[in-house]
Copies of this chain bind each other. A is one copy, B any other.
Amino acid sequence: MSLVVVGSVAFDSIETPVGSIEDTLGGSAVYFSLASAFFGPVQLVGVVGEDFPEDRHQLLRDRGICTRGLEVISGGNTFRWSGKYFDDMDRRETLSVDLNVFENFQPILPESYRDATFLFLGNGPPPTQASVFDQMEGSPFTVVDTMDLWIDTARADLEELVGKVDALVLNDEEALLLSSQKNLVLAGRKIRELGPTYVIVKKGQHGAMIFHDGGETALPALPLADLVDPTGAGDSFAGGMMGSLVKSARTDLDSLKIAVAWGTVTASFCCEGFGVNGLLDVGASALQKRFDSYRKMLDLGPVEVLL
């Protein structure tokens, strides 16, 4: 089993109601990789500029992340994003975006990545995501992420790609937008008609839903009192989920439920620190402990007929 992720690598400046951080390591591929690396090795595809310091490369490698696919553009600058969260941390505004080397990123997969069995296409232009998908040999279990921008500007490309892959992850607002529905359950069902086996809808503090051929499965988030910075929570969720799937080497619904639970737990740690610090500061035993608490929280005991 092996896992490839393609996505952004960035420097973020983030302001939340509890503090701020400047020029910190970020990007969808970074959050995803750090999260999935708790479960096993991951191969990263991305692009940075010459300003991306060696110690950041080293940090990724030290975590078991292969950076052979991380292209460095001579004379270029790394993608930079800055944003500010409002009081409830459910919403944010983007203060600035400098795409830099990410603007014309045309990912080329190293030969050694192409036989991977699991592929995550992080949020990006659907044609770029499709080009990565087309470079793979075999039929990896492929999960796609997206955002409102691509639903608005590249719907046809996105729908074509979604029809070829195994799963789509997106948040609740994006699901309503993509499906033109007002009810989230109807939205997920309609998106599944595009072709993927699973649609996974992220609802932030309200948990996640899996749409599958047997119906819908809803799982709550972990109640978090110490929310510090939600940046990267969605990619950490996807990373924990994919990492768990790869480790279990299964993609059936029961395995995906457990994987979504691991994604939920991984994302909860991400939210407890600024930038990637929440992921860097947690160890495997703390993750396992929180997973066990989560499972216990949802355990309704032995089956009994009450009525």
B-binding residues in A (CB < 8 A): 17, 38-39, 87-89, 182-186, 189, 203, 205-207, 209, 215-225, 227, 244, 247-248, 254, 257-258, 261-262, 284-285, 287-288, 291-292, 294-295, 297-301, 303, 305-307
- Of A87, A224, A247, chain B has the most CB atoms within 10 Å of the CB of A224
Residues on B with C-beta less than 8 A from A295 are 300, 303
The 6 closest A-B pairs by CB, nearest first: A216-B223, A218-B220, A206-B206, A185-B225, A298-B298, A284-B307
CB pair A205–B184 under 8 Å, yes or no, is: yes
Q: Tell me what chain A mostly uses at the interface: helix, strand, loop, or mixed.
A: mixed
With contact pairs A184-B205, A225-B189 given, residues A219 and B298 touching in the complex (Cβ less than 8 Å): yes
Residues on B with C-beta less than 8 A from A221 are 218
Q: How many copies does the complex hold?
A: 2
Q: A17-B182, A215-B223, A261-B300 are in contact. List 16 more A-B contacts (CB 8 A).
A: A185-B225, A186-B225, A189-B225, A203-B206, A206-B206, A207-B218, A217-B223, A217-B297, A218-B221, A218-B222, A218-B297, A244-B306, A257-B301, A258-B301, A288-B306, A298-B300
Query: What is the CA–CA distance of A186 and B87 in the complex, to the nearest angstrom?
Result: 14
CB pair A38–B225 under 8 Å, yes or no, is: no
A–B complex contacts, Cβ < 8 Å, 10 sampled = A88-B183, A189-B225, A217-B223, A248-B306, A257-B301, A258-B306, A288-B305, A294-B300, A298-B300, A299-B299
Residues on B with C-beta less than 8 A from A182 are 17, 87-88
Q: Report the minimal beta-carbon distance from A245 to chain B, rounded to whole angstroms.
A: 11
Residues on B with C-beta less than 8 A from A220 are 207, 218-220
Chain B residue nearest to A286 in the complex (CB): B307
Q: Report the minimal beta-carbon distance from A233 to chain B, rounded to whole angstroms.
A: 15
Report which of B185, B218, B261, B292 forms a contact with A303, defined as CB distance below 8 A.
B292
Report which of B88, B185, B261, B307 forms a contact with A288, defined as CB distance below 8 A.
B307
CB pair A39–B203 under 8 Å, yes or no, is: no
Query: What is the CA–CA distance of A106 and B185 in the complex, to the nearest angstrom?
Result: 43
Q: Report the minimal beta-carbon distance from A193 to chain B, rounded to whole angstroms.
A: 14
CB pair B306–A247 under 8 Å, yes or no, is: yes
- Of A218, A221, A291, chain B has the most CB atoms within 10 Å of the CB of A218
Chain B residue nearest to A285 in the complex (CB): B307
Query: What is the CA–CA distance of A284 and B307 in the complex, to the nearest angstrom?
Result: 6
- Of A17, A207, A287, chain B has the most CB atoms within 10 Å of the CB of A207
